[in-house]
Chain A
């Protein structure tokens, strides 16, 4: 985790809030450093983490995690981390018997033709229920009465790839809806999910997904590339928006914007225009 980001978010591993949905979003840049931050943050906070990793392999996250001070191998062995490696297990879907449930079994079904008597708006009747069942099972509270871990956390990297794999935006929203009901509300845990913002107004499905999740989120972290192009000393800009989706507060939702530079083992944040390289 990046201590400077913790300062900006005014949080530490031992004071992590519960029952929150955090949306990570990137536009014109790579926001995966935020995923690595939250993964190491919640592991250090002694939370049970279910990581649905659809983009990179386990060893990639492990290598970065070690730079940030956590070992995913150890966490997985002791049961703190449940890791769904999308790249590896997606191949298993095609070599298993059809009747066996698999979290990514939508990969097999989406290739089938929708039946003609189904209404057009139901054509993609496939949903992410098996993936939800996997998450629910992974974050089930232990029965021995003594809570070994602090609270359950679901981390998804990332949701936009589900759209690319043929799921509709509403199906992904339904998946997150059920995860919120179970992880955030029932078990008082947290969800962190990354969605890419392609900036393409014609990509309706991605915009529905991004806006739909934004309305449900308590915290939105948006990493954007600089409007002026690439820069060696400033890698991008981070906008932080705190929301209260259903409670009125005396202070309206407020936002901050910082610029950042990603280094080997940390990320440094500074106010706009105040990069150390410039001062």
Chain B
């Protein structure tokens, strides 16, 4: 189960308003730090204090944090802002990674994508892996992992498509019945993309708890404590037919069904006119014409 989390290259964590992805991002950061990797974080959306909350001190000391939250656009003019704005900060991160396994976390890629041109951001992401490979220590595909948090509702299909084409894996977060799920699409070179679904939860200490399948609560099963009640018992009307009643019902001819008996009855001359009569008293407004109205028809 843990092998599915061996993510390398650019990994997009696509979350939504209902299913936030920052806790999964932090869980993956914790896993990388515990694995001995360098971890660099570009924090744009929340304060450094809030981001570091939940990590214990040993992990916190391993995290290299670039704070773009406090003054990203240099409005305060205190000189403490990261030089070069958001793009400069991203480029500075590339330059400061040492050779060896590195995890870079971008919190969030959406923040950067709203403020930088998409092309510049994509170029910066490509440059990151290229520069890391140049610095030595094996191909970048194995050494560098860039986790980018992306809020799906914020971007159109163009920028999302551009980032997807660069990404080696996309993790789409959703869930059901209070349980979060991650749909992972992985693209490996010269292999078909694979898609799998993980059900998980992030514990308060930021470790990842993977569950095997969808939560049991989503499958309805009868409650064993309430006895099954037959709703057809104790009725004031009869729902069943006895044998005699069923036979009588089956032998009944429906009024609009044309059966052979009916045909015979119609062909046979009806009962003699003497047995049935119609008595009619015309009133003052009736206009009785003795002429046959069909008399002029040549039938």
Interface segment, one of B16-24, B131-139, B188-196: B16-24
CB-contact partner of B53 in A170, A204, A216, A246, under 8 A? A246
Is A243 close to B, CB under 8 A? yes
Q: Please tell me if the beta carbons of B20 and A244 are within 8 angstroms of each other in the complex.
A: yes
Asked, given contacts A178-B75, A246-B53, whether A214 binds B17 with beta carbons under 8 Å apart, the answer is yes
CB-contact partner of B115 in A170, A214, A216, A243, under 8 A? A170
Is A74 close to B, CB under 8 A? no
Is A69 close to B, CB under 8 A? no
CB-contact partner of A248 in B46, B153, B206, under 8 A? B206
Taken residue by residue from 242 to 270, chain A's Cβ proximity to chain B (1 for < 8 Å, 0 otherwise) reads as 01111111111110000000000000000
- Measured in the bound complex, the distance between the Cα atoms of B278 and A223 in whole Å is 74
Contact residues in B for A243 (Cβ distance below 8 Å) = 17, 20
- Name the CB-closest residue of A to B20: A245
Is B127 close to A, CB under 8 A? no
Q: Please tell me if the beta carbons of A185 and B49 are within 8 angstroms of each other in the complex.
A: yes
Which residues B61-80 have CB closer than 8 A to chain A?
69-73, 75
Q: Please tell me if the beta carbons of A252 and B178 are within 8 angstroms of each other in the complex.
A: yes
- Measured in the bound complex, the distance between the Cα atoms of B17 and A215 in whole Å is 5
Q: Please tell me if the beta carbons of B153 and A211 are within 8 angstroms of each other in the complex.
A: yes
Q: Please tell me if the beta carbons of B114 and A246 are within 8 angstroms of each other in the complex.
A: no
Asked, given contacts A121-B117, A211-B17, A252-B180, whether A247 binds B54 with beta carbons under 8 Å apart, the answer is yes
- Name the CB-closest residue of B to A254: B178
Contact residues in A for B27 (Cβ distance below 8 Å) = 248
Is B34 close to A, CB under 8 A? no
Contact residues in B for A215 (Cβ distance below 8 Å) = 17, 20, 45, 110, 151, 154
The smallest C-beta distance from B115 to any residue of chain A, in angstroms, reads 6
Count A-B contacts at CB 8 Å: 87
Is A46 close to B, CB under 8 A? no
- Measured in the bound complex, the distance between the Cα atoms of B179 and A253 in whole Å is 10
Taken residue by residue from 99 to 123, chain B's Cβ proximity to chain A (1 for < 8 Å, 0 otherwise) reads as 0000000000010001101000000
Q: Please tell me if the beta carbons of A246 and B50 are within 8 angstroms of each other in the complex.
A: yes
CB-contact partner of A247 in B53, B71, B75, under 8 A? B53
Contact residues in B for A170 (Cβ distance below 8 Å) = 114-115
> How many residues in A have their beta carbons less than 8 Å from beta carbons of B?
34
Is B210 close to A, CB under 8 A? no
Is B8 close to A, CB under 8 A? no
Q: Please tell me if the beta carbons of A177 and B75 are within 8 angstroms of each other in the complex.
A: no
- Name the CB-closest residue of A to B175: A252
Q: Please tell me if the beta carbons of B71 and A181 are within 8 angstroms of each other in the complex.
A: yes
Taken residue by residue from 183 to 220, chain A's Cβ proximity to chain B (1 for < 8 Å, 0 otherwise) reads as 00100000000000000000010011001101110001
- Measured in the bound complex, the distance between the Cα atoms of B73 and A178 in whole Å is 9
- Measured in the bound complex, the distance between the Cα atoms of B118 and A119 in whole Å is 13
Contact residues in B for A163 (Cβ distance below 8 Å) = none
Asked, given contacts A170-B114, A246-B51, whether A211 binds B72 with beta carbons under 8 Å apart, the answer is no
- Name the CB-closest residue of B to A184: B47
- Measured in the bound complex, the distance between the Cα atoms of B18 and A119 in whole Å is 35
Contact residues in B for A127 (Cβ distance below 8 Å) = 73
Closest 9 CB pairs of A and B: A248-B202, A248-B23, A211-B153, A214-B17, A246-B22, A185-B47, A215-B151, A252-B178, A129-B75
Q: Give me the interface of A with B, judged by CB distance under 8 Å.
A: 119, 121, 127, 129, 132, 170, 173-174, 177-178, 181, 185, 204, 207-208, 211-212, 214-216, 220, 241, 243-254
Q: Give me the interface of B with A, judged by CB distance under 8 Å.
A: 17-20, 22-23, 26-27, 45-47, 49-51, 53-54, 69-73, 75, 110, 114-115, 117, 151, 153-154, 156, 175, 178-180, 201-204, 206
- What are 9 A-to-B residue pairs whose CB atoms are below 8 Å? A119-B117, A121-B117, A132-B75, A170-B114, A215-B45, A216-B45, A246-B50, A251-B178, A252-B178
